[in-house]
Structure 1
Amino acid sequence: VGKEVSPSYFVSLVENLKGTYQVKEICQALQVPISTYYRWKKEDFTRTTVENKVGKLCKTYRYTYGYRKIAALMKQEETIGINQVQRIMQKHSWQCQVKVKKKNRPGSAYYQTGNHLKR
């Protein structure tokens, strides 16, 4: 389990089971250190308004724009730095999906014709 556990889900699970079991026992059963649980408990996992706006822009442009283009679109509405946009996009894995470029490999012909001259 360990790293596969969602932090927000784990905190809510421990809060629900806290009355019947000790926090130490729950963390040992799910293989999560107790210190990690208390660090996750302090964090706020709700998205801010800036994160929501960046997410909407990424979704509307189908994740084809990078952080620079998204930051330029965000600057039209409010002041925001490109580093902040980049951190938000990396945090939520909203990076642009790059298409693989096709190459013409030497040795493989694009179109072959018949041998009309028989040479």
Structure 2
Amino acid sequence: MLGRKMISEDDLVDLHGKVVLVTGGNSGIGYITIQMLARKGATVYMGARDEGRATTAIKQLQDENINDGSVHWLKLDLSDPREVRHAANEVLENEQRLDILVNNAVG
């Protein structure tokens, strides 16, 4: 890529104590994003519709050594506003704030 630098884990600051929500994180770019954030110490919520795919992805992340960070499945279907509200309430029940939102999910 001419004139563009690829982002690596070394470019990220320490994320211990930070809470992150990544939508569509059980594969592709979302998965890699979660991997990088968790390795930097973040508490990451993987917003995904399918529990089976999400838990499989989380186990794979744990097997890949995410260091001090953690990854949690958050049932989230962005096509249903009621479910979005429920997911937001679940995060608020467990966390005092949300520091980073990565809106990666596609239709």
TM surpasses 0.5: no
Give the structure with the higher percent helix.
1
Structure of greater Rg: 1
TM-score by length of 1: 0.29
Greater strand fraction, Structure 1 or Structure 2: 2
Q: TM-score, normalised by structure 2?
A: 0.31
